[in-house]
Structure 1
Amino acid sequence: MPPHVDFRIPADCPVIANVGMGVDSSAIVARWLLEPQTRGFDLDQLTILIASVGEEYQHTKDAMEQALFPLVAKHRVRTVQIARAGQTAADGYVVLDDTRTPARLVTDVPVTLGERMLDASTVPQVSSTRRSCSDWIKHFALDSWLAANVGHAPFVHCIGYNADETKRAERDLDHNKGHRLPDFPLIRWNWGRDTASAYLRTNLGREFGRSCCFFCPFQNGKNGHEALVENWRTEPEAALRSLLIEHNALVMNPKARLFGRHAAYEVVRDAGLHHLLERHHDRLERADWSVYEVRRIFHARDGDPRLKGHAYRSVLPLETGSRAAMTAVLSSLAAEHDARVTVDEHGITRAHLRTVGPSYPTAEHFLAVGPALAPAKARDNFDDVYAEITGGETSLAARHARPVPAAA
């Protein structure tokens, strides 16, 4: 491979490399260390910055610790591992490790994205232009560390978008700040993921996969569910965690499938991983369950009653016990309010007390039985807005004076 000198960075300018633990950013670091002429800066200018999400696949951890970290430690490059410190922004971030001889990828973090998903009873939102889950778990910690350690001084920010991801790089440039100088080495080198993977295989002697959470909706590549299924086959706990997150979200929203049009349950079933489904169902049966009262408000978009806008949701756990007992409680409440009990394809029992109307704003109201994982949660003014839309309706908890467990 011929020498490749792209540019020279001033000696007083820090270089921060966001390393996402996957194939792309690992290939950048490996090439910088093995081919110094490709860098354009001295290693004492470089900080490798890793935002840990806590729910990475074991094969990602193994690749970093067995192949990349030894090379980084040999060259004594400062490596900082950070994480979000809690559910709220006020909790800030925490430094997990700060060393020039990294040996361990830290996955024991204060809060994981999976915990966030379970607490909010949702799944990561799929969008071609925004990854709000990454914003919450990774970018918050990265931006917080940069603000505290770099401030407003100019710095080069290297990101591992590859040559097949130029649109992501363009969106990053749209949000650039003047003191931050973004750089995309793989795009400058015209390296796609296959080239990056081949480089690591040849020079570090092992395969590197994509870095992602167990339940990441973006982990399906051009071969569909093939890589995902193999990950879940070899790391069953990752699959079980993903199935639980999805089931918990489906209780509150029947459309909350983990992979958009495809549910994780369907992926596992269609791949013939029936032993995972059996373990999933067994864990559900042994868990505590709750009867949830779920109300949602759908606003009109831009005041147009024909268009659905943003939605607000209220979740109230009414009672907790075994699955059978909670199903009986739901059936009793449904009978009191002349509501029909249904069971969907995921085995989730519901009873609708109000369905959405033909125009917006509108509201829906239903009961559902699910794992006892979701706390009581609603916006401060939810009850007032709901009453205004529904002509004065209140929650069942208020009507029956049921004690509602306090939010965690």
Structure 2
Amino acid sequence: MYTKPNRSVRKSQKQIIFITILMLIFGNISLLLEMGFVGESFTQRKLIRAGNSSEYVSIFHQYPLDIDLANIVNEVILHNKSFLYQPINPYIYHYLHSPNPCDFRHTKDERHSVLIVVKSHVLNTNQRLAIRHVWKDAHDKRVRLVFMLGAHSLEGEQWRVEKEVKLYDDIVQGNFIDSFNNLTYKLLMGLDWINSHCRQADMLLFFDDDFYVFPNEILDFLRRLPNQRNLFIGKVIKNQRVNDIRTLRKNPKFRNYMFKEIPTYVNGGSYVMSQETAKNFHTAFPYVKYFEIDDIYLGIVAQKLDIHPQQDSRFDTSNPQALAYECSHYPPRLLKGECPLAGRRRERAPVIRHVKVKPDTFWVRLYMLPQILKSAAKNVGHALYVV
């Protein structure tokens, strides 16, 4: 037999419902705040830049060491001051091979001197032969080509590199194993070698040994650039998250990485920087925690130095007018510039529609709050009715 609940029971039920709704409201608000407002602290959300424009700054500014790196590096370089901090990313390798230093002085040519730095795997002997052949006609007295290599993981294979060194004298080799996890060491070694042996070069072109570059065209492009202190050009990648990069997502070490957002960085396949920018990076590297992926690490350091990469479509593989694009690990194709991967990406490029997406910010989520609360209340009502 059904009995009507007394007044105290009804009052307690109303209190439970009221408390539940309050918890849902505050829970959703806290979730929105966590997603859109607290993810990056209040003090680092905005940085006022030239032209009175503002844009959000990544939490990677606090990536260890948490210091004002831009000002400190500026003081060290301009005023020859010493660092007040102990290095946390020291250069722990030594050179197995280092070619003769650059010497661009014995020429009356006033054009920019250019150093071409190819990041090559130690096993890719034929790739390097193809690249040398591509560049042989473009060489002049103000252009130098060098390859950055790690060491063989197997004993008894070093003789191939020794032979290359004797024939070409263009190999910079470190004693670290040439592997994916040591890509950043190759970058550190490259800029360390440049700082020690090739500071005369005005412009530095970096690219991987599976990229095809049009030598004469890109040299003309480089020699028209101003030798600015913070010049850093390539295919700029923004607004990526850790879960968007398969290498990070599948690696257990990065799965629960403390930063969910990737800093703005330049694709490591090909990019350009001035000698002054290279010196800034080289000075800063020992004081920025090591990160295995070289282009992301360079992006972290660039943000800490307030160096803003410049987007240039001529470094985009999907651009038919690209000066440098991803090609092939098959040397004959690289030699001829036959790059099916770049071709496929170019075929897909026109199909991709450019959709203007409403920015996913705190205020957008706040605007959606009534809809969220309405849905939550409906679910609570349904749950109470079922009970």
Question: Is the TM value for this pair above 0.5?
Answer: no
- Shorter-chain TM range is under 0.3
Larger Rg: 2
Structure with the largest fraction of helix? 2
